[in-house]
Amino acid sequence: MEKGDRRLQKWSFLNARNPPQTFLELYLSYFVCFDALLQLTCSRKSRTKALAAQVTEMKNRRFIPSMVLGFLAISALSVMAQDDAEDPTAADLKLLQGEWELFHGNEGKGAPTIRSVKQIVGNRETLRRFDIATGKQLHEHTVEFKLSQSGNVHVFTFYAVGGDPKNGGSFVYKVDENGFWDIPGLLRGKEFRNYQLTPTIWHWTRVRADNKGNPKQSVVRQKLEKRINVSFNRTPLQDAFAFVGKEVGVVVEIDGDALKAAGFTKNMPQTFDSERISALDAMGKIVEKYQEPNRPGQSMVIVIDQGGKEVLVTTQDACDKGKLTSHKFNAK
């Protein structure tokens, strides 16, 4: 439903069964209808100017008293603010602000070769691609975008700066505090244009403060982005971690004392199957089962040790005592 349509329905006295009964309702209904029409054709800034101009015009012609004019202006702008608050994509736009990174290239064959970084400010996105090995920038472009919702599906549409969204490309998306999922190839019909025909899931993660402006990513993190196939059937925890590490060439160390203090053992069985999952996400599937919301210090965590080029499996208490930073997995 268009915003203008929703706005008309907000006011019961605009319903045929409840027509305007008073002088104030009559003029307020006029402003709501006026703003609903503006909503369909103008930006918020333009609508605000048009409403202000209309109020001034009516005052100059002495159509209504100044006190009522003030009430009408405040009421009309309140309708605009309330409608914006109900925009289901408004929260998404706030979450999208900032920098996001994606490691790709060489899919399914080895470690990623490209690091893409997108910076989002307002409704403008700048994308830069870097060669992981050299840190050299390979590409840069800027687009504008708009967010929309079709049923329960959230759609991201990008287009040339100052251009028409109808000439852009669209994809299904999901965003939270730490993750941005870009899923092209799913949309059908004339309303949206796929920028990629084959359905694919691109998982962007928010750039950490300590990595902003650094085109090179740690060797360990690069290796952990490699996609692998996992099939565990009551595999002991230490063996499961060892398998994942071996697949991508990363040493995984188990802090047995810390796990034991939290009530965990190295032999706890792991059972799950995943195809083309990143090594990092495979580790995440293991540790997510051993989170202790009521005792966060005893939750199992991993530490990506860039200096030692290894992964440490331990607990949050042990991290705090050793002044280590545990890896924060994206919320699902």
Annotate 307-320 with DSSP letters as a single string: TTTEEEEEEHHHHH
224 and 318, same domain (yes or no):
yes
What does the CA dihedral 289, 328, 177, 173 come to, rounded to 10 degrees? -70
Our count of domains for the chain comes to 3
Please state at what angle helix 23-41 crosses helix 3-10, rounded to 10 degrees: 170
Q: What would the two tokens of residue 228 be?
A: 């692998």
Q: What would the two tokens of residue 264 be?
A: 């965990």
DSSP run (H or E) holding 79:
helix 66-85
Query: β-pairing, 137-150 with 310-315?
Result: unpaired
- Scanning the structure block, which residue is given the tokens 């997510």? 288
The answer to the question of residue 332 being in a domain is no
Please state at what angle helix 66-85 crosses helix 44-60, rounded to 10 degrees: 170
**pLDDT under 50 in the chain at which residues?**
1-17, 23-24, 37, 40-41, 43, 45, 62-64, 67-69, 72, 79, 83-84, 216-217, 332
Choose one of 32, 51, 86: the last residue of a domain. Answer: 86
At residue 309, the pLDDT reads 66
Instruction: Please choose, from the candidates 285, 310, 282, 313, the residue with its C-alpha nearest in 3D space to the C-alpha of residue 300.
Output: 313
157 and 187, same domain (yes or no):
yes
Strand partners, 174: 181
203 and 98, same domain (yes or no):
yes
144 and 179, same domain (yes or no):
yes
Residues 56-70 pLDDT 10s = 555 555 444 554 445
Handedness of CA 253, 242, 311, 294 (dihedral sign): negative
Number of CB atoms found within 10 A of residue 146's CB: 15
Q: What does the alpha-carbon distance between residue 172 and residue 149 come to, in Å, rounded to a whole number?
A: 9
At residue 17, the pLDDT reads 45
- Any idea what the CATH number is for the domain that residue 229 is in? 3.55.50.30
Q: What does the alpha-carbon distance between residue 305 and residue 324 come to, in Å, rounded to a whole number?
A: 9
Choose one of 55, 86, 117: the last residue of a domain. Answer: 86
Instruction: Please choose, from the candidates 275, 266, 265, 259, the residue with its C-alpha nearest in 3D space to the C-alpha of residue 318.
Output: 259
19 and 101, same domain (yes or no):
no
Residue 311: Cβ-neighbour burial (10 angstroms; 0-12, 13-18, 19+): buried
The model's pTM:
0.49
Domain around 280: 219-322
Distance of CA 52 to the CA centre of its chain: 36
Q: What does the alpha-carbon distance between residue 15 and residue 13 come to, in Å, rounded to a whole number?
A: 5
At residue 42, the pLDDT reads 52
Residues 236-255 pLDDT 10s = 999 999 999 999 888 999 99
Annotate 170-209 with DSSP letters as a single string: EEEEEE-SSEEEEE-S---SSS--BS-SS---EEEEEPPG
